[in-house]
């Protein structure tokens, strides 16, 4: 210090301390909840639990959206978060289109529920929660998603009457609905003042689309009663759809799984659950499927469920439809209903959409553009945190999704 000028210490009262030194890091969300990592600015531990924050009034909804480029630590964050919540007695369900969450389920002593065309495991989507209206809405989403267009009024009517007839025979299934679409009763037709052959014509297109799930290339997954023993009893339940990863039908399959899941979640067993929908773009790209997903998001609080929608980039939401369209509004509504937004690094091309959709400040945009792997911007309600995710040694082995790539490079 010799030779340097000495400056007198600045003195002031504690009443003015906040103006003299505006702290960059706030106190965090408290110590209740699972440990995520380190708050980059305050250096303190960062813990998060949507149910705790909901009870405190810090959040009005428990659902979250996670966005991040491939290779930035998105999967590692989600897997360890679910594993840590399981230690608190919480359970989780993952709709897994890529087959990446199997080791997580096995870590907790269960095996993934793998859905394969022509397979032995079936889920009945008409076990969905709610009454007739909810299940007819599901049928409409499935058919409209396959047809790639909105349904006509007569098609909606045919679906409604077919569902009523199938339910009157007992527990309804997709094959039963398909049968009544192709072979409506005279009583059903008379209820809308048409002949049975006219009603069959109204519903024929719907029946042929349902045929894919009942007898066609997608049979053997949703074409009967739910297989015995398929429940949500394990700490981590993984619904593996990887047999159809990349298929144009993936959105339809995810809707079927979500519908079946809603029926199980509606059973009030007092257990708090997290539901992760990975590869969310597959649903958002389909207007009918996105509409059904929005219904599930709205029911999260009544089920005691915290949903997590996982996408690569926020621009996936704007890609759902033209600006101002119904599809775009649905996708952006999902973002509005997700008060927790966890944003890992985004590409420069996506920064403008990220800023607009999430309402980032200029400083936050600069952070998102340069976040290293494993660091995320957490927007929790009106508060923001930059958090470095921390992993234990055991967790590193669990979340290592690069192992196959390294082994492939090492092989001759």
- The domain that contains 333 carries what CATH number? 3.40.50.300
**Cβ(399)–Cβ(76) below 8 Å:** yes
> Is 203 part of any domain?
yes
164, 180, 214 — which closes off a domain? Answer: 214
Residue-by-residue pLDDT tens, the chain, 412 positions: 455 555 455 565 666 555 554 444 556 788 888 999 999 988 899 999 999 998 888 888 888 999 888 888 899 999 999 999 998 889 999 999 889 999 999 999 999 999 999 988 999 999 887 788 889 988 998 898 788 788 999 999 999 999 999 999 888 999 999 999 999 999 999 999 999 999 999 999 999 999 989 988 889 999 999 999 888 889 999 999 999 887 878 878 888 888 888 888 887 778 889 999 888 777 776 666 677 677 777 777 777 889 998 988 777 666 555 556 666 677 677 777 788 999 998 888 888 878 877 888 888 888 888 889 999 999 998 898 999 999 988 888 888 755 544 444 444 4
Partners of residue 385 on adjacent β-strands: 378
- d(Cα 374, Cα 390) in Å, to the nearest integer? 8
Token representation of residue 261: 């899941």
Separation CA 390–CA 138 (nearest Å): 40
Q: Is residue 169 part of a domain?
A: yes
Asked if residue 160 and residue 109 are part of one domain, the reply reads no
Q: pLDDT, tens digit, for every residue of 58-99?
A: 888 888 999 888 888 899 999 999 999 998 889 999 999 889
Please indicate, yes or no, if residue 6 is contained in any of the structural domains. no
Residue 3 in domain: no
251 and 153 housed in the same domain = no
Looking at the structure of the chain, the number of domains it has is: 2
Range of the domain at 277: 34-113+235-407
Residue 198 included in any domain? yes
Query: Residue 206 is encoded by which pair of tokens?
Result: 């719907």
- SS3 of residue 143 by DSSP: helix
SS3 state of residue 339 = coil
In a domain, 227, yes or no: no
Residue where a domain stops, chosen among 152, 183, 214? 214
Do 154 and 60 belong to one domain? Answer: no
Comparing C-alpha atoms, which of 392, 405, 356, 338 is closest to residue 80? 392
Q: What is the pLDDT of residue 317?
A: 67
Evaluate whether residue 7 is within a structural domain.
Answer: no
Q: Are residues 247 and 388 in the same domain?
A: yes
Examine the domain organization and report whether 276 and 388 are in the same domain. Answer: yes
- For the chain, the 3-state helix, strand and coil shares in percent, each to the nearest 5, are 45, 15, 40
How many angstroms separate the Cα of 3 from the Cα of each of 6, 8, 10, 42?
9, 16, 21, 34
SS3 57: coil
Is residue 243 located within the same domain as residue 345?
yes
If asked whether residues 81 and 147 sit together in one domain, one would say: no
363 and 286 together in one domain: yes
5: in domain: no
- The residue among 279, 343, 265, 272 whose CA lies nearest residue 306 is 272
Structure tokens at 226: 């739910």
Claim to verify: residue 255 and residue 163 sit in the same structural domain = no
Tell whether 296 and 167 lie within a shared domain.
no
* One domain for residues 88 and 139: no
| 131 and 107, same domain (yes or no) | no
């Amino acid at each position: 210090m010799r030779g340097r000028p000495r400056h007198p210490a600045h003195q002031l009262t504690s009443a003015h301390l906040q103006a003299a030194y505006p702290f960059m890091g706030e106190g965090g969300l408290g110590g209740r909840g699972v440990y995520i990592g380190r708050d980059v600015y305050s250096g303190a531990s960062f813990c998060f639990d949507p149910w705790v924050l909901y009870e405190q009034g810090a959040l009005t909804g428990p659902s979250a959206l996670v966005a991040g480029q491939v290779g930035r630590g998105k999967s590692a964050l989600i897997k360890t978060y679910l594993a840590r919540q399981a230690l608190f007695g919480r359970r989780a369900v993952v709709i897994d289109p890529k087959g990446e969450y199997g080791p997580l389920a096995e870590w907790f002593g269960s095996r993934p529920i793998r859905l394969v065309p022509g397979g032995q495991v079936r889920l009945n989507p008409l076990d969905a929660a709610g009454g007739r209206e909810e299940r007819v809405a599901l049928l409409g989403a499935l058919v409209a998603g396959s047809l790639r267009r909105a349904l006509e009024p007569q098609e909606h009517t045919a679906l409604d009457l077919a569902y009523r007839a199938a339910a009157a025979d007992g527990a309804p299934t997709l094959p039963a609905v398909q049968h009544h679409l192709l072979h409506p009763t005279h009583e059903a037709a008379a209820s809308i003042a048409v002949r049975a052959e006219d009603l069959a014509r109204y519903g024929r297109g719907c029946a042929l689309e349902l045929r894919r799930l009942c007898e066609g290339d997608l049979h053997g997954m949703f074409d009967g009663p739910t297989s015995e023993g398929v429940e949500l009893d394990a700490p981590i339940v993984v619904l593996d759809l990887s047999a159809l990863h990349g298929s144009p039908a993936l959105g339809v399959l995810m809707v079927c799984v979500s519908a079946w899941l809603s029926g199980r979640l509606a059973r009030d067993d007092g257990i708090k659950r997290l539901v992760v929908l990975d590869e969310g773009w597959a649903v958002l790209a389909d207007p009918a499927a996105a509409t059904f997903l929005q219904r599930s998001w709205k029911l999260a609080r009544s089920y005691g469920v915290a949903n997590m929608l996982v996408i690569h980039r926020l621009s996936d939401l704007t890609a759902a439809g033209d600006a101002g369209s119904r599809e775009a509004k649905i996708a952006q509504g999902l973002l509005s209903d997700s008060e927790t937004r966890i944003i890992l690094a985004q590409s420069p091309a996506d920064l403008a959409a990220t800023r607009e959709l999430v309402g980032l400040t200029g400083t936050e945009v600069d952070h998102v553009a340069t976040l290293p792997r494993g660091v995320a911007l957490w927007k929790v309600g009106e508060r923001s945190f930059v958090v470095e995710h921390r992993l234990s040694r055991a967790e590193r082995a669990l979340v290592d999704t690069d192992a196959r790539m390294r082994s492939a490079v090492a092989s001759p």
